[in-house]
Amino acid sequence: MPGSPKPFSDRRHAGRVLGQLLGRFAKRDDAIVLALPRGGVPVGFEVARELHAPLDVFLVRKLGVPGHEELAMGAVASGDVTIVSREIIRDLRISDDDLRSTTAREIEELRRRERLYRAGSPAPALTGRIVILVDDGLATGASMLAAVSAVRRMSPKRLVVAVPVAPVESRAELGDVADELIIAATPEPFFSVGAWYDDFSQITDDEVGRLLAGANGKTVA
């Protein structure tokens, strides 16, 4: 629980732990690590370095409940994929207008980040590859479910979801849609993703760019 020693000092430490658990995918020509920005990128950087695999990003934006943005009512992902939780929308009486406006705003932010992070480069081809989707943890799982749905459309050979920390119930939900699910820690009670890191500082766009550059052979501290 929070206040006790935590499993991870920061996201890069979590990535090194996760990389060890993914060791059987090391040095494979057909493997690629896709990190969910922003928080998943430091984790993915260390996983990719451990596996000697290329690193790229896969863009997903949570659809936050108006006025309670930390609660996800769905997510949008690259490839024009939208997932919504009809149960949350019904229970919280979220209007169609609120859903449409939130979705439009997050799609615009997703496209902005794609332009920023890719700097004009095309998205990597995923057909026939082992795709390892990485984030810094799962809470509702909505963002990762959107990513999995989008990547499935690109016909990967194998789709692996790998995260440092998640609630135990994630194993059932994501285990049904991914070919393989790797979670380093499933603490109970769960609280939140950030509760299991000593340093869970916000990641900036500049840091994302620096890590992606480092994964492409430039120096990263």
Model pLDDT for residues 147-185, shown as the tens digit of each residue: 998 899 899 999 999 999 999 988 888 888 999 999 999
CA-CA-CA-CA torsion sign (33, 116, 59, 190):
positive
Say what the pLDDT of residue 215 is. 85
pLDDT over threshold 60, residue 62:
yes
Closest-CA residue to 76 (of 41, 47, 44, 111): 111
pLDDT over threshold 90, residue 77:
no
pLDDT higher for 200 or 220? 200
Helix axes 40-51, 205-215, angle to 10 degrees: 10
pLDDT confidence of 218, banded at 50, 70, 90?
low
Q: What is the mean pLDDT of the chain?
A: 90
Say what the pLDDT of residue 60 is. 87
In a domain, 84, yes or no: no
Domain of residue 185, residue span: 11-60+123-215
Segment 120-154, tens digit of pLDDT: 788 889 999 999 999 999 988 888 988 998 899 89
pLDDT confidence of 115, banded at 50, 70, 90?
confident
In a domain, 1, yes or no: no
Number of domains in the chain: 1
Pairing, β 158-165 against β 130-134: parallel
CATH classification of the domain holding 43: 3.40.50.2020
pLDDT confidence of 219, banded at 50, 70, 90?
very low
Q: Give the pair of three-digit tokens for residue 17.
A: 């732990």
* Angle subtended at Cα 68 by Cα 62 and Cα 70, rounded to the nearest 5 degrees: 40
pLDDT confidence of 221, banded at 50, 70, 90?
very low
In a domain, 114, yes or no: no
pLDDT over threshold 90, residue 33:
yes
In a domain, 6, yes or no: no
In a domain, 169, yes or no: yes
Say what the pLDDT of residue 139 is. 86
Say what the pLDDT of residue 142 is. 80
pLDDT higher for 191 or 24? 24
* Residue labelled with tokens 């950030």: 194
pTM, rounded to two decimals: 0.85
pLDDT over threshold 70, residue 4:
no
User: What are the backbone dihedrals phi and psi of residue 201, each rounded to the nearest 5 degrees, phi first?
Assistant: -65, 150
In a domain, 203, yes or no: yes
